[in-house]
């Protein structure tokens, strides 16, 4: 199975929309496009539904422990399943 077929199957199972959370479990999902950009579900759906884009979605996975995973398109934080919220606060306070 090709990667895009997996993305297509995922959308088909979710009424044509790529999910923000995995089922079962409710784990936060992120997507990678053909240019290795990390995308949140909202931005991945925009790419998926745009027939004029030359970018394709390649993979999806759960963000298990990365407290600072951001979408390369909108810069939004992609929630992690198990990262400690205090890690994010500590890391952000280190920035000068």
For residue 75, what are its two tokens? 């810069």
Given a contact cutoff of 8 angstroms between Cβ atoms, the answer to whether 40 and 30 are in contact is yes
Predicted confidence (pLDDT) per residue in 64-73, tens digit? 999 999 999 9
Give me the pLDDT at residue 91, please: 59
Least confident residue range of 16-20, 74-78, 84-88: 84-88
Given a contact cutoff of 8 angstroms between Cβ atoms, the answer to whether 58 and 33 are in contact is yes
Closest Cα to residue 7, out of 39, 80, 67?
A: 39
Q: Express as a percent the part of the chain with pLDDT over 70.
A: 83
Give me the pLDDT at residue 77, please: 97
Give me the pLDDT at residue 70, please: 98
Q: Is the pLDDT of residue 96 over 80?
A: no
Q: Can you tell me which residue has the tokens 């198990």?
A: 82
């Amino acid at each position: 199975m090709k990667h895009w077929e997996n993305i297509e199957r995922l959308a088909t199972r979710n009424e044509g929309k790529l999910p923000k959370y995995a089922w079962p479990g409710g784990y936060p999902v992120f997507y990678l496009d053909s240019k290795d950009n990390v995308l949140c579900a909202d931005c991945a759906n925009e790419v998926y539904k745009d027939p004029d884009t030359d970018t394709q979605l390649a993979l999806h996975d759960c963000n298990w422990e990365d407290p600072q995973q951001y979408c390369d398109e909108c810069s939004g934080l992609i929630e992690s399943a198990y990262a400690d919220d205090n890690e994010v606060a500590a890391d952000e306070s280190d920035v000068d």
